[in-house]
A and B are shown apart, each in its own frame.
Chain A
Amino acid sequence: MKWEFKNGIPIYLQIIAQIKVMIASGELRAGSKIPPVREMAVEAGVNPNTMQRALTQLEQEGLLYTQRTAGRFVSEDENVMKELRKAMSEQYIADMFHNLEKMGMDKQEIIAAVKNYEKDKGEK
């Protein structure tokens, strides 16, 4: 796992976002066990309480679950995974629209540009 933190955003939120990417991309496989809190905190170079807070929230969102003695695991629930991918892709698209609108493009232009990009890529 590779961690990177930006300024000005609570670290626990950044940890949550990065673990979500790891889960969605399969870097953390469904059903796999994740390391103990302290180990993850040491690896990420963050406070153990901050890591704990992030993992607790991911549990509340159903992406992780704890088995009393065995440790913490990535969810195997396909619906949860589907939801996660959907939410993340919507976020990426929303960001793209937001950035392109800032450059003065309207919705039609953006959609046309996306189609163009896809076509060009297909030809290459």
Chain B
Amino acid sequence: MALIECKDVSKNYGSTVSLKQVNLSLEAGRIVGLLGPNGSGKTTLIKLLEHLLVPTSGLITLNELAPGAKTKSFVSYLPDRDFLPDWMKVNDLIKMYKDFYDDFDEKIAREMLNSLHIDCTKSIKKLSKGNREKVQLILTMSRQAKIYLLDEPIAGVDPAARDYILHTIVSHYNENAVVLISTHLINDVESILDEVVFLKEGEVVLHENADALREKTGMSVDEYFREVFKC
């Protein structure tokens, strides 16, 4: 069953076209890479799914519901920028997530934070950049959601933090949920992807099983991407 369904979805910002007639159907149990160069519409698509934006035309359904207040109860979203309030302590954040989301699993979150030796009594301000990113990911992945939207989860962290983040995503794999990861750092994530979606200038130009693509092209997803998006 498709958890994410886009039918002819377009989004314009004034006269600028960001997404053009996007048709996409993503099923449960998949980890999907949303791949495209800067400005190809990745973040716009994710924001539409999170209902931070509304489409100019077309239809989106998430688990058969239109994006809105209800879908937020099963969509877990990691924005592409730092969204943690500086003055809060990690403990405060956990409490806030628990208040906001019924599906937030405090035990899992605390286990992960402990394994990283992150002091929950510390304020966010005092965490390193890598640890802030990890805390954000942990909060996002500690929800037992149906849809995870991860916008650039590995941008700007060191290789060890990146490995940890990918490890966390794979170990939270749930056959009833779909994980959509947007990135342009394909080499780093491609081994954990089932399916890849290429966005080019707002259009879906490819949606394929990752191994099938390797078989067909004899290239890694990263190599093929470089070929498709050659400047």
Contact = CB atoms under 8 A, between A and B. Distances in A.
Interface string A1-33: 000010111111100000000000000000000
A89 interface: no
A10 to B, nearest CB: 4
B170 interface: yes
Interface string B2-26: 0000000000000000000000000
B193 A47 contact: yes
B167 A10 contact: no
A7 B30 contact: no
A8 B211 contact: no
Interface stretch (A37-45, A64-72, A112-120): A37-45
B191 A42 contact: no
Contacts of A42: 167, 170-171
| Shortest beta-carbon contacts, A-B, top 8 | A7-B220, A10-B211, A48-B173, A10-B214, A8-B219, A42-B171, A8-B218, A10-B215
Contacts of B193: 47
Contacts of A48: 170, 173
A46 interface: yes
B164 to A, nearest CB: 11
Interface string B201-231: 0000000001110110111101100000000
Interface string A41-65: 1101111111001000000000000
10 contacts: A7-B220, A8-B217, A8-B218, A8-B223, A38-B173, A42-B170, A44-B191, A45-B191, A47-B173, A47-B210
B33 to A, nearest CB: 10
B192 interface: yes
B147 interface: no
Given A8-B214, A8-B220, A45 B167 contact: yes
Interface string B21-62: 000000001110000000000000000000000000000000
B174 to A, nearest CB: 10
B211 A50 contact: yes
Contacts of B220: 7-8
B194 interface: yes
A113 to B, nearest CB: 31
Interface in B133-173: 163, 166-167, 170-171, 173
A47 B29 contact: no
Nearest to B29: A49
A9 B214 contact: yes
A49 B30 contact: yes
A13 B192 CA distance: 15
A47 B179 CA distance: 11
A11 B214 contact: yes
B218 A47 contact: no
Contact of B170 (A10, A11, A13, A47): A47
A11 B211 contact: yes
Contacts of A47: 31, 170, 173, 191-194, 210
